[in-house]
Amino acid sequence: MRMMIALAAAAALIAGGAASPIALAKSAATGKYDAHQCFYTRNVSSFAAPDEKTLYVRVGVRDVYRFDMFGTCPDIDWNQRVALVSRASSWICDGMDAEVVTHSAIGPQRCPVRSMHKLTPEEIAALPKNARP
């Protein structure tokens, strides 16, 4: 019975044309959907925060993403660890999908993300040393 329910659910998703999170990533530059903008939160390997409004994260070996906060994120620029949390699933495809959690003197702080941008190799090379994840 469980197998039939699982198969029925899978068939409903396929028939309904449910798109994967990769297919839903919209490029800010072109306004079109871009499969290369999405990543799994578990693939984040390091971060750097040059100030309280900007976070750079390294995903895998080559990719670096810039996250711009809605406002200041307390103590993000000196913390040794932060959490990048996906709001809906394990995928982050857009700034609105993510939330940064940092620990300050008053406890954990949740910081909403305004926008996210995948850096080009040239942009990565131009980052100052304190901003390189």
Domain ranges of the chain: 21-131
Is the pLDDT at 63 greater than 90, yes or no? yes
How far, in Å, are 53, 57, 81, 90, 103 from residue 49 at the CA level? 8, 9, 11, 22, 14
Pick the range with the lowest mean pLDDT from 12-16, 24-28, 55-59, 63-67: 12-16
Residues paired with 107 in a beta bridge: 104
The shares of helix, strand and coil residues in the chain, as percent rounded to the nearest 5, are 25, 40, 35
* Position 35 confidence tier, pLDDT thresholds 50, 70, 90: low
Between residues 109 and 10, the one the model is more confident about: 109
